[in-house]
Amino acid sequence: MPATPTRLLLRSFLMAGAIALVGCSTTGNQFDTTDLRFLVPGETTLPEAVALLQGEPVNVYRQLDGSAMARWAHTATLATDAVYFNQELWLAFDAYGRFDRIVKSNNIPHVNLYQDGRRIDVPLQQPAMPAYATSYAPLAPVAHEAVPRPVTESPISQPAVSYSLNR
């Protein structure tokens, strides 16, 4: 029975899929960094970090003083290094088993945007400036002089000295 064009097309797709699967590999454990922002230094334990990251660390390096370094890593390659995805996160835990700091991160989005569960890249709402803060007069232009000139009208209680930058 001769092969039809449909069968040839199906076989070629199956062969291409099989070749692609041969070149695929993964190492490490998958983990999710969405809740990484909830790691609180001095409070979060290693089991809590495992729950927040939704995956076990690949390695935990214990020190003699009781501290530990935990490493989460996941690498996936397609067609042997033609396309790859690599994530790595190293967390330090103190001698009491509490999270200390992020030691290293690789391809972890927004790892430094949060601290204690809140964003640190968004400025806090500043209170309105008091009226006296904007009531000072601008300074006169500085002549080319080497003698310091005190700033007399300032909302700051201690006097400041300014020096001419032009020599």
Instruction: Count how many domains the chain has.
Output: 1
Mean pLDDT of the chain: 75
Q: Is residue 142 included in any domain, yes or no?
A: no
Which domain range does residue 107 map to? 27-119
Burial (CB count <10 Å: 0-12, 13-18, 19+), residue 7: exposed
The set of residues, in sequence order, having a beta carbon less than 8 Å from that of 159 and lying 6+ positions away, is: 150, 151, 152
Q: Which of 49-53, 106-110, 157-161 has the highest mean pLDDT?
A: 49-53
Q: Which CATH number fits the domain that encloses residue 99?
A: 3.30.1450
Q: Is residue 13 included in any domain, yes or no?
A: no
- DSSP per-residue string spanning 58-114: SEEEE-TTS-EEEEEEEEEEETTTTEEEEEEEEEEE-TTSBEEEEEEEES-TTTTSE
Of 24, 86, 96, the C-alpha closest to 58 is: 86
Q: Is residue 38 included in any domain, yes or no?
A: yes
45 pLDDT exceeds 70? yes
